Structure 1
Amino acid sequence: MTVHHPTAPEAAHEVPAHEVPAHEAPAHEVPAPVRMYEMLYSSLVSQLILAVAELGVADAIGDEVRHVDDIAERTGTHPASLYRGLRALASVGVFTEVEPETFGLTPLAATLRSDVPGSMRDLARYVGLPERQQSFGALAHTLRTGRPAFDHVHGSDFWTYIAAHPERGDLFNRAMASMSVMVNSSVLDIYDLSDARRLVDVGGGHGQLLGALLQRYPQLTGVVYDLPRVVPEARTVLADLGVAERAECVGGDFLLSVPEGADTYVLSWTLHDWDDEDAVTILRNIRRALGDSGRLIVIDEVLPEGDTPHFGKFEDIVMLSLLTGQVRTEAQFAALFEKAGFRHVETLPTRSPTSLVVAVPV
């Protein structure tokens, strides 16, 4: 957002905003009130993205360049209002106004299409759920009490609510599958599993990670382990990937047990959902199933210390608001491993916000 706050006393003698937009000026030259004003309104970028994802605007544009009237007709929206939304998003690189009132997709906008590899539309639609948005609006409750805002607003914990609302649960699982595709592409190239023979993906969701690993390593067999209501989707995904004959889909509860008989166990984008007590329980169940040899691979965000920027520091606020989990530092992972009978071996950063953390039994 380009703005020059008219009431900011520090800004009284600055160059007019239309000549030097605040977001383009060096940080030390932008008055603090102006930067705060922009930060307060920055959530509108996210809200607009959520809105156009829900409306299917990227699908309506597709590979073409379309006038806003055409896009509005295809999406059932108000042309003038849609134009103002697309104009705002185009100013931050989501969509592009190639001619007056005529828009095309940018690489960012293309991720909101439903029909592209790595589509983020389901993730955007999940992020935009009113239940989530209402919880973030009650973050002050969480900061006061240390308890999830979701429970406070909805009278139920997140997992119970999802189980009671299957359509929400289905969207959640599709959103996590979208995240899995993004994460998978960044981790497959940095760690060699050519010596693995059998792998269990604990909390493996719809099976995208296991499927990608089985495609890459023909010697490998594997198990997707998740809740009984989730694994039927995994069977379909693995069959579509052509690896179903080397895969099993097992339903269960990883807080109680995990399948035995593998030399490699993976927890991808899962451990941050749980508090330390439950995380240690999950890890101990894996340790029991693994025996005294093999390895555990945790794919998750690993927070840097201090003021270093990292997306995970805001993902941690999602955990704080919706669940009882947290995004952890390397030292916190190592402490969990030690309590569960593992030893931390290494942490490998990836191109995504996640890292690959390796531990072995002790």
Structure 2
Amino acid sequence: MTSQADAVTWPMYGHDDMPGSDAITLHHGTNAPAPVRMYEMLYSSLVSQLLVAVADIGVADAFGSHEEICHVDELARRTGSDAAALYRALRALASVGVFTEVAPRTFRLTPLAATLRSDEHGSMRDLARYVGLPERQRAFGALAHSIRTGQPSFDQVHGTNWWTYFGARPELSALFNRAMGTMARMVNSATLESHDLSDARRLVDVGGGKGLLVSTLLRQYPELTAVVFDLPAVVTEAAEVIAAEGLQDRAECIGGDFFVSVPAGGDVYVLSWTIHDWDDKDAIAILRNIRAAMRDDGQLIIIDEVLPEGDAPHFGKFEDIVMLSLLNGHVRTEPEFVRLFEAAGLRHKETRGTPAPTSVIVAVPA
């Protein structure tokens, strides 16, 4: 218990500089006492946990439409939830702009809440469920191990590495691939709007997943042909996605291992949201294989986060902690990318910032 003499007055201030403040609006800001701000930061993870929970339960899907106003008792009936507990969850989320309480115990979707619908264009529901996987959360709970040792806490908690663990569990791999598909739709297409590919004729998407980026680019550039290159089990799904788009005559889906080789003959190679998964040794091996396959007049486009120096806020600085906990990779600064390219026989040409957290990093043969 806190005595009256020890109690801290919690004034109401703006909340502009706390990590995650673009998505999380709490009640106290930069002028609040440091213990108050720390208290809020420690509890801010509850917003993420609530988002994961309502995504898993399917609360946003329970609304018949974006415009429907629904009493919590009806939402509880539709989702098989406890009405009192669901109300407490929605009330908390409404306070940060996810759902809105339009009348006592009665809610409507907001644009943020709508992203958790399964049928929404750019749905984030699968990503939310992936973020909340207990396997990930247990690794984050052991983050001190990674900080002490420099090694992934995931391996220490689960007794094996990320790739082996997920490879042995098809249901988790499927969720992972769907979540990465969400990232492809959200980040890649928006990012590549800043890079003109009208002169490209054959594009190779290395680690291309389910082919969503290739599908987007083929629709945008009618003269383009493409290759989706990924593990054999993954490109089977990519072939289905591309066939459903009617683009199979302009795209190949090739299975393989980018540590061994990548398909030759492309004038543009793309590595999207991939290179940060790997340490420098592995990253250089991937880049060398791309350079060996690339035409001398070709180019490599990396879509990834590029970290600013110093205290400047950037989502990638927290994505880097995900890499520290789960994998051996890390999110890089531009000078770190330049060093990777030089070791792989490539030359950094330019880095373009975008409205997304990612940048477009272009390299050409040295």
Which TM-score tier does this pair reach, normalised by the shorter chain? over 0.9
Question: Residue deviations 1:215-259, cap 9 Å, x none?
Answer: 010110000000001011111111222222100000001011100
Q: Could you say if the C-alpha distance between residues 328 and 62 of structure 1 is closer, same or farther in structure 2, counting changes exceeding 3 Å?
A: farther
Say whether residues 1:113 and 2:124 are aligned partners. Answer: no
CA contact (8 A) 2:188 2:272 kept: no
Q: 2:318 aligns with which of 311, 314, 319?
A: 314
Look up the match of 1:347.
351
Aligned counterparts of 1:25 and 1:155: Cα–Cα separation in 2: 41
Look up the match of 1:38.
40
- What are the residue-to-residue correspondences of 1:1-362 with 2, within 5 Å? 12=8, 14=9, 17=11, 23-24=26-27, 26-27=29-30, 29-63=31-65, 64-362=68-366
Q: Could you say if the C-alpha distance between residues 21 and 223 of structure 1 is closer, same or farther in structure 2, counting changes exceeding 3 Å?
A: closer
Aligned counterparts of 2:6 and 2:334: Cα–Cα separation in 1: 41
Q: Could you say if the C-alpha distance between residues 6 and 21 of structure 1 is closer, same or farther in structure 2, counting changes exceeding 3 Å?
A: farther
Count of aligned residue pairs for this structure pair: 354
Aligned counterparts of 2:245 and 2:235: Cα–Cα separation in 1: 15
CA contact (8 A) 1:8 1:34 kept: no
Q: Report SS of the residue matched to 1:249.
A: strand
Aligned counterparts of 2:130 and 2:90: Cα–Cα separation in 1: 21
Q: Which runs of 5+ in 1 are unaligned?
A: none
Q: TM-score, normalised by structure 2?
A: 0.93
Q: Could you say if the C-alpha distance between residues 21 and 184 of structure 1 is closer, same or farther in structure 2, counting changes exceeding 3 Å?
A: closer
Aligned counterparts of 2:4 and 2:64: Cα–Cα separation in 1: 43
- Match of 1:291, as an amino acid? R
- Match of 1:38, as an amino acid? E
Question: Residue deviations 1:160-185, cap 9 Å, x none?
Answer: 00110011001000000000000123
CA contact (8 A) 2:303 2:358 kept: yes
Aligned counterparts of 2:64 and 2:155: Cα–Cα separation in 1: 39
Q: Could you say if the C-alpha distance between residues 215 and 20 of structure 1 is closer, same or farther in structure 2, counting changes exceeding 3 Å?
A: closer
Q: Which runs of 5+ in 2 are unaligned?
A: 16-25
CA contact (8 A) 1:8 1:33 kept: no
Aligned counterparts of 2:204 and 2:92: Cα–Cα separation in 1: 45
Aligned counterparts of 2:28 and 2:220: Cα–Cα separation in 1: 47
Deviation at 1:68, TM superposition (A): 0.5
Aligned counterparts of 1:251 and 1:109: Cα–Cα separation in 2: 37
Bigger CA drift: 179-188 or 243-252?
179-188
Aligned counterparts of 2:118 and 2:128: Cα–Cα separation in 1: 11
Q: Report SS of the residue matched to 1:201.
A: strand
- Match of 2:54, as an amino acid? V
Aligned counterparts of 2:165 and 2:51: Cα–Cα separation in 1: 25
Deviation at 1:11, TM superposition (A): 6.8
Deviation at 1:189, TM superposition (A): 1.6
Question: Residue deviations 1:5-63, cap 9 Å, x none?
Answer: 96798974x4x54x668845551x21000000000100000000000001111101242
- Match of 1:219, as an amino acid? E
Q: Report SS of the residue matched to 1:302.
A: coil
RMSD, aligned CA: 1.7
- Match of 1:44, as an amino acid? L
Q: Could you say if the C-alpha distance between residues 286 and 96 of structure 1 is closer, same or farther in structure 2, counting changes exceeding 3 Å?
A: same
Deviation at 1:291, TM superposition (A): 3.4
Runs of 4+ that moved beyond 2 A? 5-12, 19-26
